[in-house]
A and B are shown apart, each in its own frame.
Chain A
Amino acid sequence: MPSNEERWLDADAGPVVRPYALTQGRTRHTGASFDLIATVMATHTFADPGSLAPEHISVLQLARVPTTVADIASDVDLPLGVVRIILADLRELGLVVISTPVVMAERIDKYTLREVLNGLRGL
Chain B
Amino acid sequence: MDYGVSDPAGGNRQYRAIKILLAGGFGVGKTTLVGAVSEIRPLRTEEPLTEGSLRADSTAGVEGKTTTTVAMDFGRISLRSDLVLYLFGTPGQQRFWFMWDELAIGALGAVVLADTRRLSDSFPAIDYFERRQIPFIVALNCFDGARLYDTEDVRLALDLEPDQPVVLCDARSRDSAKEVLITLVEHVLVTASEEPLSGIA
Contacts and interface: CB of A to CB of B under 8 A. Distances in A.
A99 B188 CA distance: 24
A19 B45 CA distance: 11
A38 B69 CA distance: 21
Interface residues of B, number: 54
Contacts of A70: 41, 43, 74, 86
B83 interface: yes
Nearest to A42: B8
Interface residues of A, number: 47
A60 to B, nearest CB: 12
Contacts, number: 144
Contacts of A64: 1, 3
Contacts of B2: 44
Interface of A: 19-20, 25, 27-28, 35-39, 41-44, 64-66, 68, 70-71, 73-74, 77-81, 97, 99, 101-104, 107-108, 110, 112-117, 119-123
14 contacts: A27-B60, A36-B88, A41-B12, A43-B8, A66-B15, A66-B82, A70-B43, A74-B42, A74-B74, A99-B12, A110-B193, A119-B80, A120-B182, A121-B182
